Amino acid sequence: MSGFISFINIITGIMFILAIRGLSSPQTARQGNLIGIFGMIIAIITTLFSQQVNDKVYPLIITLFGGGVGIYIALKTKMTSLPQTIAIFNGLGGLSAVFIALASIISGSTSYLDNSIGIIIGGIAFSGSMIAFAKLQGIISSQITKFNHQHLLNLILTFCILSLLFIFIISHNPIIFYILGISTIILGILLVLPIGGADMPVIISILNSYSGWAAVGIGFSLNNVLLIIVGSIVGASGSILSYIMVKSMNRSLLNVITGGLSDFDRLQSNEAETKIAKPANARDAAFIMENANKIIIVPGYGMAVAQAQYVLKEMAEILQNKYHVEVKYAIHPVAGRMPGHMNVLLAEANVPYEDVFTLDDINREFITTDVAYVIGANDITNPLAKTDISSPIYGMPVLDVEKSKTIFFVKRSLANGYSGIENPLFFAENTLMLYGDAKQITEQIVTNLEND
């Protein structure tokens, strides 16, 4: 029986690897997701019938209840709330690692190092994810939150955690283990609290990686091969994604994790206060667009809030088919609130994959573009990232929309971006502001394009 279960575990591990591979591309994402679902079903059934589980009924009831709650939340969650949903689910994964480690120690397990690794990483993943959820949900400010000697406090707390780890391994005192768990939860809060909105997609990816490595530690403690395999896949993929994202932002991973350890004091410029943004209407936008040769659409979180991706696709199709305009979509790596947020929304609206381009592939084309249609994006188009060393996003590659002949900004107001800084592009000579709901504005443009 144990040999058969080991074989099934290997098959399930391969399915999870194929699932991650499928999720790497919009074309295969749905297939990869289905493979992952079937793999998890097999993993749950295999675990329930393993020799480690004596009582089958109680775990089955809890599994069905948890699965039902998960399905309900998934069906009720809007696309705009998906990032914070991922954050809170990831936090629950870290919390489960904490509880398993505690139960293992209480039951007399001698895997002291494995359980300690599980509770340390799981505790940080749990509390950090809860802070990320609170920032994304607007419960607490999304801006950088700092206080005097913050990094020193984090360093001291990290040293205390390592000391407690060493003491627990030597003494096997469960009280030390409980203190260790509480300390890691506090450290997770302090680590994520100073993370600004611009770095939130990266930190979600990092916390996801933490949950994976916590599962690895618990897997060794329970001698569960499948948990080790799955945890390693999640941990490694999250780490790789985090590295790719910080590299695309021209940041260091240490800088993001520490909330900007080497950041300068951020100063807000008052230069824009003396400037006036030029408003426009849907009729103006439609007229300029239908006479353009090339248009690049830059989606952002505002598109997600308004659920404007469907009408945006309709606008692009009219421009392409009726007016023979070349239309492309420019996706910034950290647009939205989570990795791939804009890609998911556009795929949901069945936007052709060949029309969607990454920053590196399309940035050089803005200089030959007649119209840049920026729909709800802000920080990812802010030129201060290239010129102002005092800006929180300085050094982050941004989309060069300012090089376009005409820029239409669809926003409800001139409010700052998620990072809390103003975008001087609103007041540029070639920028026209379209104030209002992104979906309604785009619908008005579509109506004008159809009637012309």
Residues with a known catalytic role: 379
Q: Where are the alpha helices (DSSP H) in 172-199?
A: 174-192
CA angle 3, 8, 14 (to 5 degrees): 130
User: Distance between CA atoms of 45 and 47, rounded to whole angstroms?
Assistant: 5
Q: Are 214 and 121 within 8 A, CB to CB?
A: yes
Query: 3-state DSSP call for residue 137?
Result: helix
The gap between the terminal CA atoms of the chain, to the nearest Å, is 72
Q: Taking Cα atoms as reference points, which of 90, 193, 203 lies closest to residue 140? A: 193
Q: Is the dihedral of CA 291, 296, 298, 299 positive or negative?
A: positive
Q: Taking Cα atoms as reference points, which of 368, 363, 280, 284 lies closest to residue 326? A: 368
Q: Are 377 and 393 within 8 A, CB to CB?
A: no
Q: How many CA atoms lie within 13 A of 295 on its CB side?
A: 27
Query: 3-state DSSP call for residue 151?
Result: helix
User: Distance between CA atoms of 225 and 220, rounded to whole angstroms?
Assistant: 8
- Separation in Å, CA 255 to CA 151, 198, 392: 12, 13, 12
Neighbouring C-beta atoms of residue 46, cutoff 10 Å = 18
Residues 6+ apart with CB under 8 A from 314: 446
